[in-house]
Amino acid sequence: MRIINAIKYIHTPVSILLLMCIGLLFSCESLVNDLDQDKLPKVEAKLVISCYISPQSPRFEAIITESQPLFGPATYDPIIVENAEVILSDDVSQVRLLFDDSLSTYLADKSALKIVAGKTYTLTVNDGKRFVKAKCTVPVNRVKVMELSVDKEWVGYETDSTAWFNFSWEDVKGESNYYALRGSYIQEQTLPRADPETGKIAPFRYSSITEMIAFERGVYNDVNLDGIKFISPRTGAHIPSNKTITYQDETGADKSLEINPLVKDVRIEVMCIDEHYYKFRRSLENNNDNPFVEPTLVYTNVEGGLGCFASFNAVGKTVNP
């Protein structure tokens, strides 16, 4: 009997606590439902710019979207602004970027305006209701010493392996520098394919380009690290076993081929980025999905709007493992 009474004594506070929690939840839901929408602050949608220029870029690109309200309905899909006047200019010349429906991006040919290291450029956007402006200066510095190697490592399954890309670069001495990395590699393998016109089935060499996204880290700076050697996180590509496979051609005859997989044209670039690029990327990294990290404001250098207009000066290295 004492044991039963003790159990009742222990469970009684727990039951009360559960009832209190349920009551609080219902109270919170009631507050949300009863909130007068007219009393919420009215915030107008702003133009959002995403544009990066460089002497190495093949063309000018700008994505113009619209911010979504903090209170009220929203969507994960970006709201593309299609009717804006987008002008990129320096002190003398200017070029208008035109909207491309297939890419949902404003584009212009690079020959219309030369991008020069050390020069300042201005981007303006006007959609008839809103006008925004941003400026950036192209970095002068470029990395001169880089090392890129590829090591092959067995993954423990059949003869599958991983091609590990090891990359490092030396900081440009004597000045404040900001860096970002980008890279890609080509993967190839042979597989049977039916010709869409003739229907004939034959070996076909497939080739695809894989982008290396930020190397698990976004941006770097050399604060208190002037002149050091930076070593990027190791990244790699899976290489499947070189197998002989069989298939049937269009006549039903059995055929065989070797897939002969390989990785080639590994290219990694160091981008000397401007301060706007660095601060914007860092602010995005600080606003990840970690529930234990307090969110911060996303950096912007756009007057009257949001987003980032920035520049970089890149140099790269390519190897064929």
> pLDDT tens for residues 114-172?
999 999 999 999 999 999 999 999 999 999 999 999 999 998 888 899 999 999 999 99
Q: Which domain holds residue 82?
A: 43-139+274-321
Residues 267, 314: Cα–Cα separation, whole Å: 12
Residue 9: what pLDDT? 43
Overall number of domains in the chain: 2
293 and 207 within one domain: no
2 is a domain residue: no
19 is a domain residue: no
Q: Taking the alpha carbons of 99, 101, 103, 104 in that order, is the dihedral positive or negative?
A: positive
Domain boundary among 246, 271, 296: 271
214 is a domain residue: yes
Residue 78 corresponds to which tokens in the numbers above? 């970006």
User: Locate tokens 């402006």: which residue?
Assistant: 133
Task: Determine contact, residues 225/281, Cβ cutoff 8 Å.
Answer: no
263 and 151 within one domain: yes
Residues 43-52 have pLDDT tens digits of: 788 999 999 9
Residues 287-298 have pLDDT tens digits of: 766 666 666 789
Spell out the residues 6+ positions from residue 209 whose beta carbon is closer than 8 angstroms to its own. Answer: 184, 185, 186
17 is a domain residue: no
Amino acid at 64: I
* Out of 78-87, 106-115, 231-240, least confident range: 231-240
Residues 33-85 have pLDDT tens digits of: 555 666 666 678 899 999 999 999 999 999 999 998 766 666 778 899 999 99
DSSP string, 129-149: S-EEEEEEE--------EEEE
Q: How confident is the model at residue 212 (pLDDT cuts 50, 70, 90)?
A: confident
Task: Determine contact, residues 57/269, Cβ cutoff 8 Å.
Answer: no
The reported pTM is 0.78
Average pLDDT, the chain: 86
How far separated are the first and last CA of the chain, in Å rounded? 78
Task: Determine contact, residues 47/81, Cβ cutoff 8 Å.
Answer: yes
262 and 310 within one domain: no
